[in-house]
Structure 1
Amino acid sequence: MSLQVEDLTGGYSSVPVLKNETFDVKNGELVSLIGLNGAGKSTTINHIIGLMKPFSGTIKVNGLQISKDTEKYKQQIAYIPEMPVLYQDLTLKEHIDTTIMAYNLDQKEAWDQANELLKMFRLDKRLDWFPANFSKGMRQKVMIVCAFITNASLYVIDEPFLGLDPLAVDDLLRLIEKKKKAGASILMSTHVLDTAEKYCDRFVLISKGEIQTEGTMDQIREKYPDAGKSLSDIYLSLARDGKNE
C-alpha cells in the first residue's frame, strides 16, 4: 500500500481544518479527492507532501514517515500543483536536470523518458526557453514532464486539467494509466467529475475537513440510492443538502 492517512488532524492555526481524516491509496490505484472550495482538499495535500505538519495522526508513504526520514519520504512523491511553480531563472532543460538530481535518477534513462514526454507535449523544441516564455498550459506541461520522469511511488496531482488543451488532457490520462499499470499510486484532486468517474478507481469526498464518504462508484451509489446514478449527480445532491460543504 502506497499512501496511508490515519486520523489526520491539522491546519494553519490552532483551530484544525482537517479532523481525523483516514483514507488510503493502494498500489496501482487512482483515487479522486473531491470537495467544494474550502472543504480541505488542498490542506490535505499540503500535509501529504510535507508542507504542513499534522497536529496529530500519521501519514505514511510505503511505510515511511516524513518525521523519520524526510529525504526518502519526499523522494517517494511526485507532485503536480494546480498552479505551476517554476524557477524563473532556469530553462526547461535545467528544470529537468534539477529534477534528475533531486530524485537521484539515472541520467540517461531519465532523459530518454523526458525526451519522449517532451515530444508528447510538444515541448521538445523549447528546451532553452525560460518560464516567462511559456503560457500557463505550457508551464503545466513542464510540471507534468518533471513529475513523470521520476520513479515515484505516489503521484499527487491537484486540479490537473485546468489550463490544459484537450489533447494534453488525453496525454496526461494515458500517462496516469501507464503509471498505474506499473504499480504507482495516484491521488488526484479535481472538480471535473465526469472525467473522475470514468478514470478513477475510488473516490474520497471531503466536507468541512472530514471524510464524508469514500469508496468505489458502486459503493457510493449504494450508500446514496436517491441521490442519482452519476458521480456528478450524487456530489451535487450532497452539496445542496449541505452535506459536502
Structure 2
Amino acid sequence: MMTEKTPIIQIRNLSKAYGSKVALKNLSLDIYPGQVIGYIGPNGAGKSTTVKILTGLIPEFSGEVLVDGISMQENPQEIKKRIGYVPENAELYDVLTPMEYLDFVGKLHGIDEEILKTRSTKLLNAFGLGNNLHDRMDTFSKGMKQKVLLISGIIHNPQIVVLDEPLSGLDANAVIMIKELIMRLSKEGKTIFYCSHMMDVVEKVSDRILLINKGEIIADGTFDSLKQNHADTLEHVFAKLTGRDETGNETDAIIDAFN
C-alpha cells in the first residue's frame, strides 16, 4: 500500500536508444501521489519516449520502472490498469458515437456495464457533449474529439493520468475546465504527468516541473525555484537551459529577410 511519502512512480537508470540515437540516458526519478508534473523539453529531447515507456507502449528499455511498486518489465498489464493516457495524436473510431466508444474503452478496462453507462453519460455532459451522446464522431470538430479522448483516459478512474498536449484543439472555456480538472484530480490524490509545449499552462498547473534535454533531466523543481535560479518566465528558463537563448537574433534575421 502506497503512503504519501512513498513514490507512486520510481524510475532508476532508465535508458533507451534507437540504433545509434540515444533517447534517454540513465534517467532516475521519484514521483509522488498527488503531484502535478509538468514535463517539458525540446523536440527530440526524450519526452515521448519517457511517456511511451511509462504507459507500457515501449516494452524494451534498460533500467527499472516501478509503478505502485509493480515492475513495468514484469507486469505491464497490471500497471496499465492504474494509468490513464491521453496521447497527443490519437485516432478515434469516429464511425462510433461517444457512448459507443466509451463503452468499448470501458469494457477493455473491465468496468461494470451499468456503472460504465452512468459514468460515460455524466462525463460527456460535464464536458459539454450532452447533446451529442449518440452522434457519429466523424461529424465532430477536433476539440469535440479531444474531449472524448480525455474522457476515455479517465473513465476507469486511474491513479496516474498521463496527458500529452491535452489542450490541442480545445476552446478557451474547455481549456479553463481542463486546468481546473487537473487541480481537482491532484487534490483527490491522483498523479498527473503533463507534457506540453504551452509554457504558460505548465507554469499554472504544475507543482513540479521537469525539463529534459538530450535524454537527461537538466532541471527539476517548482516554477518559483526555477525562476529564482534561472530566469523570470518558464519560457526563458526553457530557452536558457536548452541553449535556445538566441531566439531574438533568429527573429531579427527572419524580419531582415523581408527588408
Deviations 1:2-39 (A, max 9, x none): 22222110133354311111123210110011001111
The alpha-carbon deviation at position 72 of structure 1 amounts to 1.2
- Structure ID, larger Rg: 2
1:215 to 203, 208, 221: 221
The alpha-carbon deviation at position 66 of structure 1 amounts to 2.7
d(CA) in 2 for partners of 1:29, 1:195: 16
1:63 to 53, 61, 69: 69
Q: Write out aligned runs for 1:8-19 (5 A).
A: 8-13=14-19, 15-19=21-25
Contact 1:25 1:186 in 2 (8 A): no
Moved more, 72-81 or 20-29: 20-29
The aligned residue for residue 111 of structure 2 is 105
d(CA) in 1 for partners of 2:88, 2:228: 32
Label 1:237 to 1:70 Cα distance change in 2 as closer, same or farther (>3 A): closer
Name the SS for the 2:30 alignment partner: strand
- Stretches of structure 2 lacking an aligned partner (at least 5 in a row): 1-6, 246-259
Q: Write out aligned runs for 1:89-128 (5 A).
A: 89-128=95-134
Label 1:132 to 1:12 Cα distance change in 2 as closer, same or farther (>3 A): farther
Contact 2:39 2:211 in 1 (8 A): yes
Deviations 1:35-88 (A, max 9, x none): 011111111111111111243111121111232223211111100011133124
d(CA) in 2 for partners of 1:98, 1:68: 27
The aligned residue for residue 47 of structure 1 is 53
d(CA) in 2 for partners of 1:173, 1:230: 19
Of structures 1 and 2, the one scoring higher in RCO (CA 8 A, sep 6+) is 1
Moved more, 156-165 or 172-181: 172-181
1:191 to 172, 197, 208: 197
d(CA) in 1 for partners of 2:50, 2:99: 31
Structure 2-normalised TM-score? Answer: 0.85
Structure 1-normalised TM-score? Answer: 0.90
Cα RMSD over matched residues?
A: 1.9
The alpha-carbon deviation at position 174 of structure 1 amounts to 1.7
Read off the aligned partner of 2:236 and give its amino acid letter: D
d(CA) in 2 for partners of 1:89, 1:195: 33
